[in-house]
């Protein structure tokens, strides 16, 4: 075999190995791939969808409208919900409309007709906590049931999901 061709193949093999190693390290340290097992976030994220989630070492960086993952307070299984309020904010639902700090929050992804007439009392989110809701409010079990969740339990933020809706 020609020495130049041999060096070229060896270089290609080294580059391929380095790329594969980098992918493994990034995946192991920073990213998770998850399959959604409920319809609580439909139509944004649907049952059976595979999503890419960034692991969070500092969940204090999570903000309103982020979609996050955490262990369910009910059964410990991994769950995915949208952050609608952070520490110090007040949150309520009045006739299916989300109200944060006294202002109606625009939620084009929620089917308000399916939850028309739903009311929840005002809750002030405690320090180091988040109020999370599923986009499919009719079936979602979320902070309306189990209350605000501590930011310390947040283990991921949605990076990518399928570009379509259910």
Catalytic residue among 38, 72, 81, 90: 81
Query: Is residue 143 flagged as an active site residue?
Result: no
CA–CA separation, 84 vs 134, rounded Å?
Answer: 10
Task: Answer yes or no: are the C-beta atoms of 41 and 34 closer than 8 Å.
Answer: no
CA neighbor of 96 nearest in space, from 68, 123, 135: 135
Catalytic residue among 40, 129, 140, 143: 40
Query: Is residue 81 flagged as an active site residue?
Result: yes
Task: Answer yes or no: are the C-beta atoms of 71 and 153 closer than 8 Å.
Answer: yes
H or E stretch covering 21: helix 3-30
Active site residues: 40, 81
């Amino acid at each position: 075999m020609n020495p130049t061709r041999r060096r070229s193949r060896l270089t290609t093999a080294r580059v391929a190995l380095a790329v594969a190693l980098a992918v493994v390290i990034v995946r192991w340290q920073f990213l998770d791939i998850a399959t959604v097992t409920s319809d609580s976030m439909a139509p944004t994220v649907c049952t059976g969808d595979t999503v890419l989630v960034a692991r969070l070492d500092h969940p204090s960086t999570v903000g309103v409208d982020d979609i996050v993952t955490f262990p369910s307070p009910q059964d410990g299984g991994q769950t995915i919900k949208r952050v609608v309020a952070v520490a110090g904010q007040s949150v309520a639902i009045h006739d299916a409309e989300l109200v944060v700090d006294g202002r109606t929050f625009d939620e084009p992804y929620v089917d308000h007709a399916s939850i028309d007439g739903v009311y929840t009392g005002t809750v002030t989110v405690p320090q180091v906590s988040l109020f999370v809701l599923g986009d499919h409010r009719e079936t979602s079990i979320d902070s309306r049931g189990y209350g605000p969740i501590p930011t310390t339990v947040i283990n991921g933020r949605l990076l990518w999901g399928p570009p379509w809706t259910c």
